[in-house]
Structure formats: structure tokens, C-alpha cells
Structure 1
Amino acid sequence: MKSNTWQADGLLLVTAIIWGLAFVAQRAGMEHIGPFVFNTARFALGCLSLLPLVWLRRPDRHQPLLPLLGGSLAAGILLFGGSSLQQIGLIYTTAGNAGFITGLYIVLVPIIALFWRQKTAPYTWFGATLAVIGLFILSMTDDLTLAFGDLLELIGALFWAGHVLLIGWLCRRIDAIRLALGQFLVCTLLSLGSALIWERFEIQAITTVWIPIVYAGVLSVGVAYTLQVVAQRHAPAAHAAIILSLESVFAALGGWLLLDESLGPRGLLGCAIMLVGMLISQLPAMHRKPPPEAV
């Protein structure tokens, strides 16, 4: 494995740790403010945290502006959809559940890639089946209905899968830092518009949860999403997804240590089966070479 691939894997692992613990911060933030207000604040902070990097980097004058704008818009819309559903879902479910269900996007990545005529190996279908079984054990209520918060997280996983695929394609064609800033800005504006329509801005409530907002904004958004964009320049989307899926483990650990959440025997079994399914589905990706970078 090349050194730049090892470096990319290290960055993706750090990203997974930050994102996993971010579920704890996001869950804590929901005690005082609405999901769209929270996302507006966190992604605005993410934008501000990137401005020094953008200012210090010399822009590539030969790179056209239109692809950057289009890529930022598309990535920002997917980011808004995934983060909004995730944040709303956290009102009704635990950080651990949210982390594991969100992690299903690594199973969805190669399946969605079928639309680009990419073959999906038998391992993926077997892993997907295990993941669905684990989801059933984890999230189904006694009357065999999917818990509302878990359903929102599941729908959000579709957006995260699309986001991983899109970022994997864009980051080889567009400057990574400017792409990250662009998608954060789009997501901030969409979250702000939604907050103005459905929620209220209360400064006192926002200051009450400033620690979760700062963590989710500076580390989870500004640092982790940027690390993802940079790392995926040297890792295929499926390879990145298997490492990023570890965020579900760190989300469960964080929820247990910091929020006193308990999954129980049934929840632990469901999470274990889901994690095994996620890992099995990505076995072919570990032997696949990343596509060449665009020039």
C-alpha cells in the first residue's frame, strides 16, 4: 500500500473518531435548540474555520469557477439533506442508534454505484442482508414498526451515501478546500432558511449549548469534513466508507460514556450484526485499486 494511501487512511480514521463523538454533541444540543438552528450554527462555524486556509492558499487560476459552483451546490444539497435528517432523528433516538444506522451508507455506496454501471460483488449483497437483519433487531418496535427517529436516520443514510460518492468524484477535479467551504456555505444557507421558516432563534438558548455547537462546528464540520475531502483524493469511495463506518462504534462508545445511554442485549446484538454486515460488504473494496487522478 502506498504511503499516501496510508496517510489517507489515517485521516479517515481521525475523521471517524471526530464524527462518532459528534453524535454526542449533536444529541446534547437538541435539549435547548431546534435541529435547523443547530445546523445553521455548526456549519457557519465550519465555514469560518476554513476561511484562513482559503485565504492562505493560492487559488488555481486555471481552474474554472463553474465546476466549483456546481459541485459545491450539489454536495451542499446532499449534505443538508443528510445532516438535517440526522439532526431531527437524534431528537427521537439515541446517539448510538443514530451512529450505527447512519453507518449503513457504506452498504448503500456500492449499491447506488450500480446506476453508474459498476458491478456489485456477492460480498456486498451478503453484507447488505446482514446489515438489514441487524437494523431490524436494533430498531424494530414490539409491533414490528420502525422507530420514527431510526427511520429518519435510515433515510439520511441515503443522502450520506450519495455524498460520499459525489465527493469521491469531485475531489479529484476541484480544489478540496474550496469545495469543502462551498458545500458548507450551501448547507448553512439552506439550514438558515429552514430555521427561519420552522424554528426560532434564541440567543440565550444558543449560548447554553455553545460547547456542543463549537465541537460540531469546528471539529466535526471544519476539520473532519475537510479531512474527508482531502483523504478521498487517495482512497476510492468504497475504501473510504469502510473506515468512516467506524464512526458508529465511536458514537455508541461516546453515548455510553458521556450520555449514559445503554443499548441493552437486543441493541448490542443488532449493532454487532450491522457492523459485521458493513465490513463484509466492503471486502472487495480492500483489493480494488483507486482510480487515477484527473489531470
Structure 2
Amino acid sequence: MGLVITAIIWGTGFIGTQLALDGGFTPIQILTIRFFIAALLLNIIFFKQVKKYIDNKSIISGVILGIFLFIAFELQTVGLVYTTPSKNAFITAANVVIVPFIGYLIYRRKIDKWGLISSIVAIIGIGILSLEKDFSINLGDFLTLLGSIGFAFHIFYTSEFAKKYNPLVLTAIQFSVAFILSFIVQVITKEVSISVGPIAYLGVIYLGIFSTTIGFFLQTICQKRVSETKTAIILSTESLFGTIFSVIIFNELVTVKLVIGCLLIFSAIIVSETKLSFLKNKKDVERTKNISAIKEDENINLS
């Protein structure tokens, strides 16, 4: 339930980002402010707990998560400048089929056939959603896809680290690292000066408090009990919520291409996990029936 709530919050986050961009913030300014708010809130509110459980290994783990978080959000936010919120949401959700391959490459964890099939379906969906008539890809869609890979690494390593270290420490450190990296890039690109409207501040404050602080804290806590693959499946539904809110709030045009591409990606997301569970349950039922039939025949023969 915590991950579902996180997905809903993140789904509305695409709208917050769009409001901040339309209001005048640059992508890197949005990231700096949202991570500053999140780092400040967590480190102040949970200062005693963070101080109690922090150690060198948790610091290193938090830094790794912060780097992946910054890279993923930077690519996703810049991508949103050149594409629509709904496409941005669904392409980001493709991280769900990337997570199992990370496990295979790093730890040689087995990839099931349904995971492979769902990956192919997701790639086709992304192609339909993103490729133009001449088979070129929009810059925003390409950057969003790279960001999706970054989120896949973040989800994977969050699952690995959340089982070993305190979630509060990991979350506080990764936000602090992401803020520092964002601020450094902001200074380098000379985007320190801010001149925006009220609607932009509303969007970025929402991102800082809800999408970042509450959303990622919930994710880190819940991943202590849920595997990285199931986490990716549940969190991927943010794309559905993102598209719904985008259509309602921004009156985004719903095209046949958009619907087909989104349906394929969403189907791949669902199949990569639920199909396996369905087949397993079906086999268990059949096996139980066969065992019952054999026992019944044995009883008849004994009689």
C-alpha cells in the first residue's frame, strides 16, 4: 500500500514539474530546490535517528543512491522540456523491465522468459510512442529513456541497501548528495539567478515535500519488505496516474499512437510480474488436482 501511495504521489509529480517549468524554472533549478527541501526536512526532523544509525557503509550506500537519483531526475526533467508529461511518464515507467537485467549483469541472477518477452514488448511500445515517421526519436523521449535506466539502477540498489541499513539514513544522505550535485551544476551553468511566477513555486514546493521527501521515504521503507522487481512493477503505475492527471489538467491530446504505445508499455509492466504469478498458481492448482486424482485412484484400487 505504501508503494501504491508513492506511485500516486509520483504520478502527480509530473504535473508539478510541468507547472514549475512553465512558470519559469530551469530543470536544474527545479532539482536543486526540490532536493534542498527534502534534505532539509529529513535532516532536521529526524536528526537524532540519522545521527544514531549513520556509519561509513550507510554513507557510501547513500552517496551511490544520491548519484543515481540525481542523474535520473536530471535526464527526466530536461526530457520533459522537449516532450509531453504523458510520454515522459510512460517512458520513465519502462525502468521496470530494466531492473531484472541489472540483477543479471551484476549478480548473474536468472532472467525469466516472461521478463524477456515483456522487455521486447516494452521496447516496441516505446518505439511506437517515441519514434517519428522517419524513425527518428524526439530528444525529450531519448533523454527520458536514459533517465529511466538511471531510475532502474536507483530502484535496484535501494532494494539492496534498504535491507542492510536504516531507511532514514539512506534517504537523508541521498537527498543531500543529490542537492549538492544539482547546486554544483547550477553554478557551473550560471543558472543561480531565479525570476519566476507564483505557480512555479507552487509546483516546486509540491515536488520537494510530496514527490521527493514523502514519496522516496515511503519507497525506501517499503523496499525493506518488497523485492526490487515487485517494487518496480508497483511504482510503474505512476505512469498511468501521470497520464490521467496530464489529460485532466493540461488537456493533453490523446492520440491513437499515444494509446497504443502506452498500452504496450503498461502490458509489458504487468506481464513481467503478474503473468509469472498466474502461471505458478495455475500449475500449483493442476498439480494439486493431479495428486488428488492419483490418491483417489489408489484408494479405489485398495478398496
Q: Please indicate, yes or no, whether the TM-score normalized by the shorter chain is above 0.5.
A: yes
Q: 1:262-273 to 2 correspondence within 5 Å? A: 262-273=253-264
Runs of 4+ in 1 over 4 A off after TM superposition: 284-288
CA distance in 2, matches of 1:180, 1:285: 32
Name the CA distance, whole Å, in 1 between partners of 2:190 and 2:253: 31
Pick from 94, 109, 112 the counterpart of residue 104 of structure 1.
94
5 Å matches for 1:142-181? 142-181=133-172
C-alpha distance in structure 1 between counterparts of 2:40 and 2:198, whole Å:
18
Instruction: Determine the structure 2 residue equivalent to 1:257.
Output: 248
Which amino acid letter does the alignment assign opposite residue 54 of structure 1?
A: F
Distance in 2 (alpha carbons) for counterparts of 1:185 and 1:285: 38
Matches of 1:215 and 1:285, distance apart in 2:
37
SS at match of 1:91: helix
Q: Which residue of 2 aligns with 1:242?
A: 233
Aligned to 2:7: 16
1:79 to 69, 84, 95: 69
Q: Shift in Å at residue 193 of structure 1?
A: 0.7
> Aligned-residue CA RMSD in angstroms?
1.7
Quickly say closer, same or farther: Cα 1:255–1:201, change in 2 above 3 A: same
Q: Greater CA radius of gyration, 1 or 2?
A: 2
Residue 180 (structure 2) pairs with residue 189 (structure 1): yes
Question: Structure 2: which amino acid aligns with 1:138?
Answer: L
Contact kept? 1:121, 1:284, Cα under 8 Å: no
- From 20, 26, 30, the equivalent of 1:34 is 26
Deviations 1:156-212 (A, max 9, x none): 111101000100011111110111010000000101111111142334327551110
The count of aligned residue pairs is 277
The 2-side partners of 1:215 and 1:155 are apart by 25
Summarize deviations over 1:103-126 as a string: whole Å, max 9, x none: 000000001111211001000011
Matching residue's letter, 1:242:
I
| Residue pair 1:123, 1:283 contacting (<8 A) in 2 also | no
Query: Offset of 1:284 from its aligned partner?
Result: 6.6
Q: Which of the numbers 93, 110, 134 marks the counterpart of 2:83?
A: 93
The verdict on how the C-alpha distance between 1:26 and 1:205 changes in structure 2, with shifts beyond 3 A counting, is same
CA drift at 1:49: 2.2
Query: What SS is found at the alignment partner of 1:30?
Result: helix
Q: Is the 8 A contact 1:42 1:214 kept in 2?
A: yes
TM-score under structure 1 normalisation?
0.90
What letter corresponds to residue 259 of structure 1 in structure 2? F
1:4-60 deviations in Å (ceiling 9; x for gaps): xxxxxx000000000011011111211201111110001101112213431353754
Cα distance in 2 for partners of 1:69, 1:59 equals 11
- Which SS does the other structure have where 1:204 is aligned? coil
The TM-score with structure 2 as length reference comes to 0.87
CA pair 122-269 structure 1, distance change in 2 beyond 3 A: same
Among 59, 67, 72, the alignment partner of 1:69 is 59
> Structure 2 vs 1, CA of residues 199 and 264 (structure 1 numbering), >3 Å: closer, same or farther?
farther
Q: Give the % identical residues.
A: 27
Contact persistence 2:34–2:209 (CA under 8 A): yes
> Taking structure 1 as reference, are residues 229 and 58 closer, same or farther at Cα in structure 2, changes over 3 Å only?
closer
User: Does the residue aligned with 1:143 lie in a helix, a strand or coil?
Assistant: coil
| Consecutive unaligned residues in structure 2, runs of 5 or more | 281-303
